[in-house]
Amino acid sequence: MAKKTTHSRALAPFRMTVPKPIIVRQTKTIVKHAKHRKGGHSRGGGMLGGLTDAKRIGIVVGGAALGFIQKQGLSLPKLPLLGEAGTIGLIAYFVSDGGRNKLADEICTASLTVAAYELASTGTIAGVNGEDVDGFVSGY
């Protein structure tokens, strides 16, 4: 006689599944030579469009601030290699906090540029060795 099994298989519960709805999507038609239209505003380039760049205007404002600081006649110590403009640039660099203060950063850039120009063109920097800086900012 055959041996009977003592365990029985449990049947999985029967699930009723509903068929999923059919979704019809329209595919995009790709046109090879379609003109792409830019969004946003148009920029006024032209001949002088790059001259009024925001970065350049900022450095010009920094140069004006340098002239205003020198016009005030503050008694700042003049470093031997940097002169008055370079000293103002160095002070503005420390005040700018790594470029977070934009005006101080622009004053730093303009001041160091003026100091480098003076050193390259004349060989000396205004405000060093007892030179007078009254004629440095013309018109005042």
User: How many domains does the structure of the chain reveal?
Assistant: 1
Domain membership flag for residue 114: yes
Most confident of 43-47, 55-59, 96-100, 106-110: 106-110
> Which residues have a Cβ under 8 Å from the Cβ of 82 and sit 6 or more positions away?
89, 90, 115, 125
Domain that holds residue 110: 54-122
The residue with greater pLDDT, 98 or 5, is: 98
| Global pTM value | 0.53
- What pLDDT is stored for residue 1 in this prediction? 61
Q: Is residue 75 part of a domain?
A: yes
pLDDT tens for 105-137 read: 988 889 888 888 888 887 776 665 555 444 444
In a domain, 46, yes or no: no
pLDDT for position 8: 58
